[in-house]
Each structure stands twice: as C-alpha cells, then as structure tokens.
Amino acid sequence: MSNTIYITGDTKQDTLYRALGEAQKGDRIVYHVGQCCGGLHRYAAAKAESEKLCLLFCRRAGFGLFEYIAVKR
C-alpha cells in the first residue's frame, strides 16, 4: 500500500529530494496545494521528474484548488 507524504509546509530546499529518498515506490508526495502549480518545491519536482525519480500529477482538492503530487518511481 502506498503512503501520502505532505511537504507543503516545509521550507527547506532539499525537502522534496529527502522525501523521495525516504519514500517507497508508489508513495505520493504532495508538494503544493493551490489554484496553479507553485510553491517552494515546484522546481525541485520538475528536476526530479526529469531525472526519472518520480512522476508528476495533480488532482482536485476542492473548488478551484488542486494538489500537486510527485509519485516515486
């Protein structure tokens, strides 16, 4: 079973990579919640995806809100 890890409130630069290192394959890391992709971890998420460490998704979290998620490969 996969877990969901929330890092939206963490302000450290390496938080996403640390979470990916601790996560199991298939675990979801929510790195931002908002109307559009933003937040401190968006560039790290794009870099991790280009390095084939994760897949990026978003899902509706409410009216006009979305969760931006990195799923560990």
DSSP characters for 33-69?
EESSS-STTHHHHHHHHHTTSEEEEEEEEETTEEEEE
Cα distances from 69 to residues 5, 21, 40, in angstroms, run: 9, 15, 13
Does residue 57 surpass a pLDDT of 80?
yes
pLDDT of residue 26: 97
pLDDT in tens, 17-56: 999 999 999 999 999 999 999 899 999 999 999 999 999 9
pLDDT of residue 69: 98
Specify the CATH number for the domain of residue 43: 3.30.110
Q: If you count them, how many residues does the chain have? A: 73
Nearest to 45 by CA among 1, 9, 7, 3: 7
Segments forming the whole domain that contains residue 29: 4-72
Look at the chain and report how many structural domains it folds into.
1
